[in-house]
Amino acid sequence: MQKVVWTSLSVKYCLFLAAIFHFGTATAKEGMWLPPKLKEQEKEMKAQGLQIAIDRIYNEKGTGLNNAIVLFGKGCTGEIISPKGLILTNHHCGYGSAQALSSPEKDYFANGYWAKNHQEELPCKGLTVTFIRRIEDVTDRILTGIDDTLRDAVRDSIIKVRTTAVEAEIAKATGMDANIKPFFKGNQFWVAISETYRDIRFVGFPPNGIGAFGGDVENWMWPRHTGDFSIFRVYAGADNKPADYAPTNKPYDAPQYFNINISGYKEGDFTMVYGFPGTTNQYISSFALKHVYSIADPISIEARTRKLDVWTKYMTGSRDIFIKYTSKRAGVANGWKKWQGEVLGLKLNNATGKKQNYEKNFQKWADAQRTLPYAADLLPGMRAAAEGADKVVYEDQYIKEAVFGIELVQQGAAAERILSVMRLKIDARKMQDTLAKTIAAQEAFYKNYDPSTDRDVFKTLMTLYFNKCSETLPAYYIDAYKAHNQDIAAWADAIYKNSIFATVEQFKSWAATATQTDSARIANDPAFRLYDAVAQNRKQKILPALNTFTTNMRYMERLYMKAQMEKEKNKIFYPDANLTLRLTYGQIKGLDPDGPAKYSYQTTLGDAMALDDPNSEIFKVPAKLKELYNKKDYGRWGVNGTMPLAFIASNHTSGGNSGSPVLNAKGELIGTNFDRAYEGTMSDYYYDPARCRNISVDIRYTLFIIEKFGGAGWLIDEMNILKK
Ligand code: ARG
Ligand code: ASP
């Protein structure tokens, strides 16, 4: 008797302990939350450590921290870090601006750039930043009276009319921009009321030896040693409102900016990332997911492996080609590596098995309920649609990655543009003018192009396409192949010798005397024919089925999303990322307990020094940084003789979160987000708290580089820096 009582007591005690334990080490949670819905997260965030009011993070009065965040350019995030509109973002987000401002005499990638005063802040043509002032639910205004099962073609046209009207009305009432986007696969609509500033200036940029340290080798990986940050400034007109560039514009008077905390953090500390994640797909079926990991990702990886092999070979052999292809290579390799991590992560996590279990449950519920008459048909419908589309999805992926992966084929699209100008019915003078402009626009392409490299890419990618899509090859391809004795290499050699578009010399010598009567010549050019043949083939044999599939799938996925939310009425769902402002929260956390490696949550400058390789383009530590390291000259940014560099945490981020502020429990800035760990790149489809980590530059490293390396302490004087 005694014993039994004791046992049941101890069980209760253990449960009690477990509850405390769980509470104390609150587990990371997936989710990218809409700021106006954060109140629903308040309890959990407070339990995990949040120390400020939700109202401080976002409110309708214009005094929230959302006013200190910008959509930077087309797909990054930046944060305001001083009352004078200073922006902190990633190095790789400022890369395009740096490239545009750089020249052989002013090579900002090699030497960095540090403005010494406002006059030295350089205007960046075309760069904009957007502040989100308010976000509102307009679902009722967009969807009222529209039946769920209305097909998307009709539904979309109604929605478009309403969206335009509501946006115009809100823009008029607020004097700001209004942009409505669909959420939860079109089951909700929210408007973002925003202001876009268009005079943005380049202020601070570390050289690649810091800002891109580790390059593609360390990309998507932890541990990491990249000082991936750069500094810009918002300029405004006399009224502090957006204005076109003018020398008389003034630094933006920022009503909200981030305080910076340099007292450090430890494992388990609460963190938040506030920014603009681009695209995620958390709620799709196992069938749609299968297209990702068994068709799209593997084909892209296969084609890009071949292309990168060729590029690397040529880039290693020639400095000129290296410079031409560096930026392109970074883009191609970024996706290539991410998808490999994604396929691996989905497999390690048995994401498909988990989705299938979920689907079994869903089906049981759907069969039993009566509220949504269509629910029971969704999974069987999506399954049939996905399986029926396997073949076209496969073919299309090879066309996109293998055929269009050849630069000369892409030039065929340019040829088509030139051809369409030639076919315009305009007078001769206007024709010559338009033609000259179209041709001139094309010349820029050759600046970063090497025909020998691309010819070898043609050989390997065309071989791949012939092997994998032999049943659907365009007739022109088969004929040309036969005409060259079924030798793809010989075919390639002939094309690159003959096409106007194959070399800059061939293009320029043609362009110098180009007239409208050349249209026959363009229409017969191999670059144009390669492009046109595959484009027509795609239009006839692939797109009809593919479009039917995507239209059907989109319809069913919208209803499936709605049904999932109906099934779990008490669960708080978060919408997939769509480049709107979101907040995610988690903890500073090493890659450990049941993850694949026992990595600490932090790296230091010493770790970067250990990788220093003077013979490597990407692992060469700049001399001045070495000097600072050797003298341990860290100023107020070091900690007991070490310099913190990067850290990881369990915040649920995605592409677009690059440059996002990483905040502590008080909403103070402790770092800048720039990447995710390899093991967790599948978080766009499936978030696993044991494996998914966001990677950030430690703010102390950023400040150290600005002050001690860049000698730009005047920027730090503008900031509000807190210790504790
Ligand atoms: N993987 C990061 C992102 O998706 C960083 C990319 C830039 N860095 C690089 N080594 N390519 O944007
Ligand atoms: N590196 C990504 C970006 O540029 C961030 C990520 O995918 O985690 O947005």
Q: Give the DSSP letter string of 458-512.
A: HHHHHHHHHHH-GGG--HHHHHHHHHTTT-HHHHHHHHHHH-TTSSHHHHHHHHH
Nearest CA to ligand 1 atom 2: 675
Mean pLDDT of 214-231: 96
The angle formed by the CA atoms of residues 622, 628 and 634, to the nearest 5 degrees, is: 130
Work out the end-to-end distance of the chain between its first and last CA atoms, rounded to an integer number of angstroms.
55
Task: For 648-658, write each residue's pLDDT tens digit.
Answer: 999 999 999 99
277 alpha carbon to ligand 2 midpoint, in Å? 8
What's the rounded mean pLDDT across residues 372-393?
98
Pocket test for ligand 1, best of 219, 308, 696 (most atoms within 8 A of CB): 219
Looking at residue 19, what is its pLDDT?
39
pLDDT recorded at residue 13: 43
Which of 229, 276, 676 to probe ligand 2 with, by most ligand atoms within 8 A of CB?
676
Atom of ligand 2 nearest to the CA of 77: 9
User: Quick check: pTM over 0.85?
Assistant: yes
The CATH architecture annotation of domain 11-128+198-276+580-722 reads Beta Barrel (2.40)
Region of poorest pLDDT, from 33-42, 128-137, 516-525? 516-525
Does residue 675 line the site of ligand 2, with CB under 6 A? yes
CA-nearest residue, atom 4 of ligand 2: 658
Mean pLDDT of the chain: 94
Helix 488-498 and helix 526-537, axial crossing angle in degrees, nearest 10: 120
Report the pLDDT averaged over residues 624-642: 97
Q: How many CA atoms lie within 13 A of 549 on its CB side?
A: 20
Do residues 275 and 656 touch, judged by C-beta distance below 8 A?
A: yes
Q: What is the reported pLDDT for 459?
A: 98
Given a cut of 70, whether residue 5 has pLDDT beyond it is no
Query: Concatenated DSSP letters for 360-383?
Result: HHHHHHHHH--S-TTGGGHHHHHH
**Is the beta carbon of 337 within 6 A of some atom in ligand 2?**
no
Ligand 2 in reach of 280 Cβ (< 6 A): no
Reply yes or no on whether the pLDDT at 3 is more than 60. Answer: no
Helix-, strand-, coil-residue percentages of the chain, each rounded to 5: 55, 15, 30
**Which ligand 2 atom is nearest residue 90's CA?**
4
Distance in Å, CA 506 to ligand 2 centroid: 39
The string of pLDDT tens digits covering residues 614-630 is 999 899 999 999 999 99
Active site residues: 92, 228, 658
Query: Could you tell me the distance, in angstroms and rounded to a whole number, from the CA of residue 230 to the centre of ligand 1?
Result: 14
Q: Which atom of ligand 1 is nearest to the CA of 215?
A: 10
The ligand minimizing its distance to the Cα of 673 is 2
Interval between CA 654 and ligand 2 midpoint (Å): 6
* Residue closest to 88 by CA, chosen among 72, 104, 108, 64: 72
pLDDT (tens digit, 9 = 90+) per residue, 261-289? 999 999 999 999 999 999 999 999 999 99
Q: How much is the pLDDT for 595? A: 54
Closest by Cα among 187, 91, 78, 110 to 563:
187
Confidence class for position 517, pLDDT limits 50, 70, 90: confident
Tokens of 103: 């020249």
Query: Which own/partner contact pairs does 70-73 have at CB distance under 8 Å and 24+ positions apart?
Result: 70/129, 70/130, 70/131, 70/234, 71/129, 71/130, 71/132, 71/276, 71/579, 71/581, 72/129, 72/232, 72/659, 73/127, 73/128, 73/129
Which of the 8 DSSP states describes residue 576?
P
- Please report the pLDDT score of residue 103 as a whole number: 84
Q: Does the pLDDT of residue 538 top 60, yes or no?
A: yes
Please check the confidence at residue 380 and state whether its pLDDT lies above 60. yes
Residue 654 Cα to ligand 1 midpoint, Å, equals: 12
Residue 518 confidence (pLDDT): 86
| 639: β partners | 642
Average pLDDT over residues 410-425: 93
- For a pLDDT cut of 70, what percent of the chain falls above it? 95
Residue 658 CB–ligand 2 contact under 6 Å: yes
**Which residues does a 6 A CB cutoff place in the pocket of ligand 1?**
92, 215-216, 219-220, 330, 334, 655, 658, 675
Q: In the predicted model, is pLDDT for residue 10 greater than 90? A: no
Is residue 522 pLDDT above 80, yes or no? yes
Q: Which of 658, 682, 695 to mutate to test the pocket of ligand 1 (most atoms within 8 A of CB)?
A: 658
Query: What is the average pLDDT across 96-119?
Result: 92
Q: What is the rounded average pLDDT of the residues 544-554? A: 97
Mean pLDDT for the stretch of residues 473-482: 98
583-609 confidence digits (pLDDT tens) = 999 999 998 645 556 789 999 999 999
**pLDDT at position 159:** 98
Domain ranges in the chain?
A: 11-128+198-276+580-722, 130-196, 286-552
Share of the chain above pLDDT 90, in %: 87
Q: How many residues does the chain have?
A: 724
Ligand nearest to the CA of residue 684, numbered in listed order:
2
Cβ–ligand 2 contact at 64 (below 6 Å):
no
Which pLDDT value is given to residue 4?
Answer: 37
454: Cβ below 6 Å to ligand 2? no
Q: What is the pLDDT of residues 291-343, one digit of tens each?
A: 999 999 999 999 999 999 999 999 999 988 988 898 899 999 999 999 999 99
Give CA torsion, residues 257, 263, 264, 270, to 10 deg.
-60
What was the pLDDT predicted at 18? 40
∠ at Cα 394 (393, 396), nearest 5°? Answer: 65
